[in-house]
Amino acid sequence: MYRICFVCSGNICRSPMAEVVLRARLVDEGLDTGIVVDSAGTGGWHAGEPADPRAVAALNAAGYPAGPGDHTARQFDASWFDECDLVIALDRGHHRELTRLAPDRVAAEKVRLLRAFGDIGPVAASGAELDVPDPYYGDDEGFADCLDIIETALPGLLKTVRERTGAVG
């Protein structure tokens, strides 16, 4: 099994959206056997809650199968580094937190930024282009924009998954 975990702040917006999109793409490309995809948050304040209804609505509007009860938020635990092959942070803050949480260098090297897989052109010195903006405090359009950004990174992520697993699809 090859295991991927997406991580955002509370695990109710960005990371569950990325989880649903990658699962759908893996199915579309015949790569869903042997690859486990899940998500978590760096914080536990939403643990036990479903995905934000606006995230579910954005996914459904784009044709992804997602229901209000399909997801339960949880907090990432350092012990999961042993289980995960790739831990994908949705922004630089999550990346820093996960790297600090990693028990060793090998675990820390599993942490990657989602947008680092995408073609975002030249990156400014701030690195802000590598963040998937948090739509939580915004309107519905912010969730649609978040989904667009996630989708843009998926071809590069799928390429990496194929390379690391030897999968053909």
Q: Which amino acids are annotated catalytic?
A: 8, 14, 134
Q: Please, how many CA atoms are within 13 Å of residue 6, restricted to the half-sphere of its CB?
A: 28
Round to whole Å and give the CA distance between 38 and 111. 14
- Rounded to the nearest 10 degrees, how much is the dihedral formed by the CA atoms of 76, 81, 82, 86? 110
Exposed/middle/buried for 71, CB within 10 Å: 0-12, 13-18, 19+? buried
Exposed/middle/buried for 37, CB within 10 Å: 0-12, 13-18, 19+? buried
Q: Rg of the chain over CA atoms, in angstroms?
A: 15
